[in-house]
Amino acid sequence: MKPSLFDLTGKVAIITGSARGIGKSIAQGLASVGTKVVVADIKATEAEKTAQIIQEAGGEAIAIPTDVRNRQDCLHLIEQTVAHYHRLDIMVCNAGIDIIKPAADLEELEWDNIINVNLKGYFHCAQQAAQQMIEQGTGGSIIMNSSIGGVVGISGSAAYTASKGGVNLLVRSLALEWADRQIRVNAFAPGYIDNIMEGTETFRRSPQEDRQHLSAVIPMQRRGKPEELIGPVIFLASEAASYVTGAILMVDGGYSAM
């Protein structure tokens, strides 16, 4: 029988920012389809816990503390992954932060921190991953977590939307550069997800206000769940997407269709 197009058995994947939230769900989802997972996160203790959860569920995972703002950390992440698993097939650039604040009040260090994590960190990890994939001669899949904020403006998130718009064009540029090396570069772009991103913990509407807002802007009239991003990532990582590169896959309940 022909293997499933979505089968990732034996593939090695790094997921940055995967100690919690969306990244944790993606790491667990990839492990559930046979992927050997590297949980990369600046929060070392939480990363170890996530790796342990995956192991206890029958999956294979290790944790590597990583600050994606630091180029040497990204290099160390790739080196340690290859030292342990001997290859790299999938890089999911997911680590992200936001600071919800009027643009007129945003401080330079706040702007720099968001751009350094959400855009510069993505480039560091993608570049190092691609170099390893080129050395292997096997190709691979690089997947970035974009956002509806990469295609529409969001009041109070100037730096975040700028970073995600940058991610979208980074995806397209890298896809063109590395297509002849059989490295596919794509992004999934979540809409409103039931997930509290780092830097947004203190900003949340009341349940009633949230329902009213979602009903007005999302055709499906609800937030997505972190686990609803697993399928899109598996698709982009797998042979099912073998002819897909430079794409931004919207996963937003119809938000961007309005």
Task: Find all residues with CB under 8 Å of 183, minimum gap 6, and list them.
Answer: 130, 133, 134, 139, 140, 141, 142
Beta strand 12-16 pairing with 90-93: parallel
The answer to whether 64 touches 38, Cβ cutoff 8 Å, is: yes
Catalytic residue flag (residue 160): yes
SS3 143: strand
Catalytic residue among 85, 122, 160, 192: 160
Q: Judging by beta carbons within 10 Å of its beta carbon (0-12, 13-18, 19+), is residue 16 exposed, middle or buried?
A: buried
The answer to whether 93 touches 122, Cβ cutoff 8 Å, is: yes
- Phi and psi for 222 in degrees, rounded to 5? -160, 165
The answer to whether 204 touches 159, Cβ cutoff 8 Å, is: no
Q: Catalytic residue positions?
A: 160
